[in-house]
Structure 1
């Protein structure tokens, strides 16, 4: 203790039990309400029953490792074990900042490997089918914004009229609606990057204008029982009495429409994944998709962008075309050259006179000066032909070969100098 004091590490004012410290930490935790509620649940259900009686400064790596191993052995899921370690680590990190302990033992434990399951999502065609099926539903404008912008449920139902600028064509995402302690509240967004401006597209403008007309009619019908403010701070989407919409009710309506029309079942959050995947297939830059979805890290955007079999097929077909198209074009060029040469030779042979037979029945032809046979049988001529006729036929054959050779050279040159894109 004396040595730690010399280093500036003063002893704690009191000896903390881990359970008491965790309760104090949750009260002071500067997190969003739902995050604090989730942390409180993990502490109450998993950490305090097993470790709450231990002294905070007596916690060791071995104790933390055995605790998490026992959780997994007792049937808790891998995801639960990872979440429990995450909460314990956050609490011990805060204790280090308060100089209550010198190390975070939760960071040193080993956990079973965990890989989150890939979220189900729709193709653009399936999303279109859903929107067509939901066109008559009162929540249709909400579904349009979820599918078009990839909004979170809380962001969609937390949209206010002051956040919609029809003149400048901008939709501002500034808050969300969540149920906290049994009450629907307008709270801050999930992260700082979740605060963003989106362009007011034509489809969104149309459904929002219709929603404003419907809300005016609902307010007039409700009269004094209308519970909203009635000004620019009023929510865009409310109940018939002006109260905030419950996001879980939006999710239930979504699943009901899917069941009624035989659509493949996904969660309503899957619309966010579907939006990101559609942007990827349309070759939207990942940085733009990140900004549209309001992610703080582009790696998070990658989780939302799914790769299907059709996307793989299109990519590999491009690779196939790049690797093998040049060889295929050259082979076709060779075939065309051979065909052109054969056609030219056949045409030339038809224009030459037929060869005659000698009196003894042998074919007569003229060769070189040594009277040996030449390599071209089209130089056959009957005995008795004049010298002028023989020279003319030789010149015709030479011209035919020259044309064939020139055509071949041009074709090969075009194939080599102009490879396929």
Structure 2
């Protein structure tokens, strides 16, 4: 029968029937752990407990199980069991497979230190990985290891705590003028004219536009309802809910988009309520690659006097800027864009030169009015 030894200030030691000694202690997480190995003497067991206690005091202690869990398996399990949109899951799987697992996958979680992260990022960039991809990989790794810290309590600290690694400079995306949008729409095959107009003046994403059905359009009210999106997955196209609950919304269209959409529904959309509003030449769901080829996107941009680097998604960017310049509040922009947080909406709240000029001219009118009123009082 094992004999319990006297109480210690930290941990306890007991003698086993074999004559060897077992050491146990309670970690900072409140969990009692037993040393993996037994000790030949009580003194050796006490020395081991002293080392553990000093690690805790210095803030260097980590759960022993961190050495048993390797990033490869832990990361794959994290992605597999996380609640994610299908497209997001595929993106995470690719990031992990291509950029994280080859260099860090065989490491135990407890072996990953900030210096490990620095070395890993350096190897990625030296190997040709772009900075945006390196940032996305770092952000994914940080999220995975956050779970190891906060939920599974395997790690004491997240090694992904290096300032600047989670962001990169992105040049501001181009914004089209209203005239350019209309010129681009004119250069589209008839089937795609309304797609350009509605995209620019509604702020809907490509996947949301591709998933619109006739029953989602209310021409009398001039609105479109956004209850779903269409995602292009490796396994094929898949309809699903928007990115977040805030993405389910009703968006009002300006008259030009409403008129264009009405004409499109009459010519190119099936009669059934579930018919897709925007489809390809064979009435099949839209795909970005097929669309670009069908409309000769690069040539259409050049003919419309737009920069070659203008993307379809920049039409959404254009519409959001137009809404902001028209006086939409942050909350109104959040609704129109389908965002739950203010961060994205605030991007569009910066002052444009045209809007700033309007403000200055309005100030001039108020200053002039105020000055005249002041002179009138002096005369009296």
* Bin of the TM-score, shorter chain as denominator length: 0.7 to 0.9
- Corresponding residue number in structure 2 for 1:234: 275
CA contact (8 A) 1:12 1:99 kept: no
- Seen in structure 2, the aligned counterparts of structure 1 residues 13 and 280 have a Cα distance that, compared at 3 Å, is closer
- TM-score normalised by L of structure 1: 0.66
- Which 10-residue stretch deviates more, 153-162 or 1-10? 1-10
- Corresponding residue number in structure 2 for 1:118: 172
C-alpha displacement of 1:231: 3.9
Segments of structure 1 that go 5 or more residues without pairing to the other structure are: 220-229, 331-410
Segments of structure 2 that go 5 or more residues without pairing to the other structure are: 1-23, 34-63
**Counterparts of 1:241-390 in structure 2 under 5 Å?**
241-252=282-293, 253=295, 254-265=297-308, 266-305=310-349, 307-316=351-360
Secondary structure of 1:151's aligned partner:
coil
Instruction: Give aligned pairs, total.
Output: 323
- Seen in structure 2, the aligned counterparts of structure 1 residues 303 and 255 have a Cα distance that, compared at 3 Å, is farther
CA contact (8 A) 2:197 2:257 kept: yes
- TM-score normalised by L of structure 2: 0.72
Take 2:374 and 2:79, find their aligned partners in 1: how far apart are those partners? Answer: 78
CA contact (8 A) 1:273 1:305 kept: no
CA contact (8 A) 1:64 1:105 kept: no
Which of the residues 181, 191, 194 maps onto 1:127? 181
CA contact (8 A) 2:71 2:104 kept: yes
- Corresponding residue number in structure 2 for 1:80: 133
- Seen in structure 2, the aligned counterparts of structure 1 residues 415 and 281 have a Cα distance that, compared at 3 Å, is farther
Report which of the two has the higher share of strand: 2
Secondary structure of 1:299's aligned partner:
helix
Take 2:140 and 2:351, find their aligned partners in 1: how far apart are those partners? Answer: 32
Deviation per CA, 1:121-160, whole angstroms, max 9, x where unpaired?
11223223323444x5311121121012111111111101
Take 2:215 and 2:375, find their aligned partners in 1: how far apart are those partners? Answer: 67
- Corresponding residue number in structure 1 for 2:69: 16
Take 1:84 and 1:326, find their aligned partners in 2: how far apart are those partners? Answer: 58
- Which 10-residue stretch deviates more, 197-206 or 172-181? 197-206
Deviation per CA, 1:273-315, whole angstroms, max 9, x where unpaired?
1112212222232321221111222220122456443344444
- Corresponding residue number in structure 1 for 2:154: 101
Take 2:377 and 2:177, find their aligned partners in 1: how far apart are those partners? Answer: 41
C-alpha displacement of 1:249: 3.2
C-alpha displacement of 1:204: 4.3
- Which 10-residue stretch deviates more, 92-101 or 292-301? 92-101
Deviation per CA, 1:152-175, whole angstroms, max 9, x where unpaired?
111111101222235665421011
C-alpha displacement of 1:16: 2.0
Deviation per CA, 1:217-268, whole angstroms, max 9, x where unpaired?
xx7xxxxxxxxxx742231222344321113333453444222343334211
CA contact (8 A) 1:155 1:177 kept: yes
- Corresponding residue number in structure 2 for 1:414: 376
C-alpha displacement of 1:186: 1.2
User: Alpha carbon RMSD of aligned pairs, Å?
Assistant: 3.4
CA contact (8 A) 2:202 2:319 kept: yes
- Seen in structure 2, the aligned counterparts of structure 1 residues 143 and 413 have a Cα distance that, compared at 3 Å, is closer
C-alpha displacement of 1:326: 8.6
